[in-house]
Amino acid sequence: HLLGAAGAVEGIAAVLAVRDDIVPPTINYKEPDDECDLNYTPNVANSTPIDLAMSNSLGFGGHNACVAFAKCEG
């Protein structure tokens, strides 16, 4: 676990997802739950246009942050 750096790494992943238009996969997703109707990206990244990404980081001791990243034009 990266402890204090985990939020930074997640933020970098969000920025790269917006830059490269790639949805990172949900790793080890095997069986869907019929009661949880979400648009998963199971096990393999998906290429789709992405204009915005949000990163929520909830850490030990109440260290919480939420940042949003948007694609810039120009």
What phi, psi does 8 have (nearest 5°)? -65, -45
Averaged pLDDT for residues 51-60: 89
Confidence band (pLDDT; 50, 70, 90) for 13?
very high
The fold adopted by the segment(s) 3-70 is: Peroxisomal Thiolase; Chain A, domain 1 (3.40.47)
Tokens 């789709």, located at residue: 48
Residue-averaged pLDDT of the chain: 90
The answer to pTM > 0.85 is no
Residue 3: pLDDT above 80? Answer: no
Residue 4: pLDDT above 90? Answer: no
Amino acid at 42: P
- Name the 3-class secondary structure at 61: helix
- What is the rounded distance in angstroms from the CA atom of residue 18 to the CA atom of residue 22? 7
- What is the rounded distance in angstroms from the CA atom of residue 48 to the CA atom of residue 21? 5
Query: What is the chain's Cα-based Rg?
Result: 14
